[in-house]
Structure 1
């Protein structure tokens, strides 16, 4: 059975350009820290990738540090800032929520965006050094966050701002100067690069402390030989993603058609954040009274791959902290799945989903009534 893959927010297939770049780097070998010819060639490849990744977010390449992924980039930003007080929106990814046991959650509105008044009050209550982490786009709902407005509030209180742009990069134009943030994280496997590599942008003049010590690699912020094949693939994926921003934004048409089909087939369904600015590829759909894991499994049996919430919890389907923070009732939040298109998606994928969805909803509806 052919698989209809609609879980691109979890990971998107590796682009051919990225695969070739990985293989080329592995064939050539060389350590970027070596001074001989092979080392110089490796260094040249690494720095070209750094320029390509930096260009995707409008950054100076000298301000970009490579990491093992988005999780490490987030940790380096928040822990490396050495700010004793860490705040984050209540809908942040677990890599931010779990970064420090005393980090504080800023509530969000029922519309799924950070409560700016609450943020202002929380910062006003404590004038000590602090840092705020706010994602550009939520990984479950796709809802865009008011980063610029939050930045203005944070500046008034002398608070640094870290932006997790991992889901937004490659799907929307991202520019660090326009966002005016101090730190920004991105990840390769969300844009068609290999897993296991990410990057952190650091504003000029801001100094971080290393959280992984060793050699002098990556501006002495991440000791250890760089993952050159992964970084090369990241650079190639960033270059390809930058050239396809328009096409990825056009995925909103596929998303909207899918949502219209869902509502026609199941009028009781809930589209979370439907009236909010969202990523063009993401739809969070709830079937009240039906467990999300049952929907995911039924769709999987029908050859359609989607997820329930975030896919970063060791394969477990757990209650969504994002939907809970938005105040959605459990009967809705417990039946929410995420459908996410990507660079390989076509209209046929949406049609396959709708056929499987209608069949799944008919089969699971009696279970909802019985429960």
Structure 2
């Protein structure tokens, strides 16, 4: 029986990041959309859960942050400070191709980078390191010429990866290429089947090409791509098996996105799978995204706090090398433990207390 700490009949999930929302056929707050209306934060009650992390605390946990753009410079610095106050050791954020690439150029030709935007990324990585955080970056964007051959596409992408790597690779711990491309095509974002061996082979070659380029600049960077993870049931573990079989040779570390909600059995399934994946591949395993949304139609702030306590208790005792919560503040929906204006929700208050800053 699935155990659940929420009332019967509640809608199970709205979205889990843009690609999860697309897979579920649901609306997400994307770039350019208005900020979501934050759920009002109630006064914490005595029933607020208390996480009990294993020895070592929360150092291997972290948060996904909004991308460091010129418009978000001060907000990004606030977010780094918040990660530290919450007692965590990792910051995950994206490099936006639309910001850092001024002109992709013609097929077979050079690309032109926007140096001022690269300066912003350089500054963001430096600020995260100065804050004592490990850095996980994402380059999700791809050249949009869908008519180009795969060889021409990869030649263009190598120029992009190298230009970004020359700025930041010496200070990046983990570099994720693409985003949940086992479910959304890495070039067209169309739905794909991870059982399609031809597609997965091409994806592995693309990830491997990125790894070669990034290692040529920063040999210590751990290059990865993330696997889709909702719901966390037996079918999902079989899907992960397919993805890992195809992609593990091209990756330095395995990255799983996982949204077990408030199911204790699903959370334990994730813990067990991490151990199995590490044993079978000999590679470190990271959780690239995990979290719970708050909204009137889905989960309450109390639910979210309970979920975070569940995840911390379970995953701090797992073999995961790092666990990245999605996300710090309401940015791409309302998954944040902080509202869009930086006020803590109940989960945020709980984490501040756990870190001794509440």
Q: TM-score, normalised by structure 1?
A: 0.32
Larger Rg over CA atoms: 1
Q: TM-score, normalised by structure 2?
A: 0.33
